[in-house]
Chains A and B, each alone.
Chain A
């Protein structure tokens, strides 16, 4: 059975590092640039993210998600940590830029990845307000309060849109335990 890049890394195969950077370097860099927007911060974050990837490679479960999604998840953890703990805030100008960005996805978007493609379809099924809130929070790294300030939605509404949107996408992706009653401990 062919091993994935992460499985090779988990077994100590350093040769897989180059493959990993070739396959996912641009992705992680793009995620960092988009969420942090400061080049120096983004560089430091990407360096930390790949260390996290080496350390956590053994936890990758190909039965649960693709390698791309797994690495994006690790990247987001580190980026969220940075945003929350460095207390960086996006300027008002940046927020206007984000809101003005076209929502049409180009061919270069990561939709060759199966979960990304499915997530894009799922996002299209959301209400426009839910989709907007998820894009601002998950893609651009704005806090709920920043989204409320920017869009004029009440904070509670922003949170509700974000939560319902995530739950809906999670269910469509088959990542959740469908009936919500099964999710908690007995």
Chain B
């Protein structure tokens, strides 16, 4: 029985490396991957090496595309620096520690989600601490209008406000309870822009999780995917009580979301959720889209 499962797992990893999996196969892979120690990434690296063996570089990256990529890089590194500064500031000011799931050196593909979890959790913690610091006020609260002086170091809450102010296609939905009665007090909202492929969760009442045992994971139900396989919106941890603002990290391009859901999963998240623990739901009402 186990040998059959091992063989099926290898088959799925080969198929995934070659050209991806169907929805059903992804569910199967998630099931077989539970507890397996096989190095999933080695299959993808093999496929990459095969692709390289037959790839002829016959033209350089177009200049206009390079410019677009460099502009993206500017934004990425500005956010990176902002997070690093905030993290350093937190480290100086508090003894609270931030923990997230460390990736295994050669672990399964699920570990790739850990990077997103780390970034989201860092931002969440930073936001909470700043918003609960009283009158230290160097960074404005979530509803304040960013001033030019702080625009280079926007908190997620400020980025959320900026998105709402700047984007013309913002979808907003209110969080309500999922299928866990003990989390009935979850509230807040989610905003999302198709054009900018950016969005933020504003959450209150979501308990601090033990990042070594579990993580929160966002799912986006949109028109491009079936309801059985919503888009992974990123993994995050809640590390402090109070209101948190979490940037959405959609793994695929989302279009016209009709609902958002937060589930509780294993550290690092899952590819397909069994939806046994739904911490919150945010259906998009017609007049909110």
Chain A positions near chain B (C-beta within 8 angstroms): 12, 14, 17-18, 21, 25-31, 33-34, 43, 46-47, 50-51, 54-56, 58-59, 61, 64-65, 68-70, 72-73, 75-77, 80-81, 83-85, 105-106, 108-111, 113, 115-120, 123, 134-135, 137-139, 141-144, 159, 162-163, 166-167, 169-170, 173, 175-177, 180-181, 183-186
Contacts and interface: CB of A to CB of B under 8 A. Distances in A.
Interface residues of B, number: 65
A62 to B, nearest CB: 12
B84 to A, nearest CB: 6
Given A28-B61, A59-B112, A81 B50 contact: no
A155 to B, nearest CB: 12
Interface in B178-227: 224-225
B18 A138 contact: yes
B2 interface: yes
B81 interface: yes
A184 B9 contact: yes
A103 B231 CA distance: 38
A8 to B, nearest CB: 11
Interface string B49-77: 11111111111111001101110111011
B76 A138 contact: no
Interface string B70-90: 101110110011001000000
A137 B129 CA distance: 49
Contact of B55 (A31, A184, A185): A31
B62 A166 contact: no
Contact of A12 (B43, B46, B77, B116): B77
B258 to A, nearest CB: 17
Contact of B36 (A55, A58, A184): A184
Nearest to B13: A166
B50 A138 contact: yes
A134 to B, nearest CB: 6
Main secondary structure of the interface of B (DSSP, over half): helix
A167 B14 contact: yes
B29 to A, nearest CB: 13
B211 to A, nearest CB: 18
A72 B105 CA distance: 19
B103 interface: yes
A115 B43 CA distance: 13
A143 B16 CA distance: 11
A95 B20 CA distance: 19
A111 B61 contact: no
Contact of B57 (A30, A76, A123, A175): A30
B20 A25 contact: no
Contacts of B38: 177, 183-185
A166 B47 CA distance: 7
B28 interface: no
Nearest to B76: A54
Contact of A139 (B2, B17, B43, B55): B55
A62 B273 CA distance: 32
A116 B44 CA distance: 13
Contacts of A117: 53
A30 B58 CA distance: 7
A65 B60 CA distance: 24
B113 to A, nearest CB: 11
The CB with the most chain A CB atoms within 10 A, among B35, B42, B60, is that of B42
A61 B38 CA distance: 17
A47 B55 contact: no
Contact of B69 (A50, A68, A170, A173): A50
B169 interface: no
A117 B50 CA distance: 9
Contacts of B6: 180-181, 183-184
Given A50-B72, A167-B14, A184-B37, A70 B57 contact: no
A108 to B, nearest CB: 5
22 contacts: A21-B66, A26-B57, A27-B52, A29-B60, A43-B62, A46-B65, A54-B72, A55-B116, A68-B52, A76-B48, A77-B44, A81-B251, A83-B20, A105-B53, A111-B53, A116-B52, A117-B53, A119-B53, A163-B11, A166-B50, A169-B46, A176-B42
